[in-house]
Amino acid sequence: MKFSVFFLSSLLILGSCGSSKVVENQDIVYEEDKVLGRSDGMAQRPEWASETVSTKEEGDSVQFIGLVEVPGDSRPTAAFKMSDANAKGGVASKIETNVLKMVETSDSGLNVEDQSLKSLIHEMSQISLKNVDIKNRYWEKVQRVSSTGKKSMIMKTFSLIEIKKSDLQKMMFEKAKNADVPADMRNKVENLVREQW
């Protein structure tokens, strides 16, 4: 898969955009990633540790995956702090995106351009995850080889949080009470979330 690499603070976020195994970083093109070591001597990456999927539903839960890449000589514990923050930090935007899609594809009569609706969806996304534990973590050390033959070592760390859909909905609905919007609008959006998430 082709990954475009963007630096955001000290975090590295990856996004999928093709099918060949080439990673671009500024002017360097990486032809190959070779895994040199994994968490706990694992034989392969766990299924949940995806570079291209950051949110997925698993049974009655929603999973959020955080990923960072750091220099290969970094300590896993320090890198996990960043991937933990990445997993929790991305939840708000994922909630906003998902709820907006629910409204767009529904026949609820809600207008996605309505500022009150946008305010409601934003408020719903501002849930607190301080009491949500990290369910799983994984790291792998990777050697990258550029098209010029230059080798570099990185460590990829993944963190997984999992929230029951019912708990996520409760947190979202509690936050929705703070939005100054018509009750009818709030009820329609909450019903969409109950039905589709």
pLDDT digits (tens, 9 = 90+) for 166-178: 999 999 999 999 8
Question: Distance between CA 124 and CA 95 in Å, rounded?
Answer: 8
pLDDT digit string, tens, across residues 97-140: 999 999 999 988 899 899 999 999 999 999 988 888 999 999 99
Residues 6+ apart with CB under 8 A from 124: 95, 96, 99, 172, 173, 175, 176, 179, 189, 193
Residue 56, beta-bridge partner list: 63
Whole-angstrom Cα distance, residue 162 to residue 40? 22
Q: Which of 4, 166, 14, 189 is nearest to 98 (CA)?
A: 189
> Residue 181 pLDDT > 60, yes or no?
yes
* 40 backbone dihedrals φ, ψ, rounded to 5°: 50, 30
Residue 86, pLDDT above cutoff 70: yes
pLDDT digits (tens, 9 = 90+) for 22-67: 444 555 565 678 999 999 889 999 999 999 999 888 899 999 999 9
Rounded to two decimals, the pTM is 0.74
Give me the chain's average pLDDT, please.
83
pLDDT at 1: 32
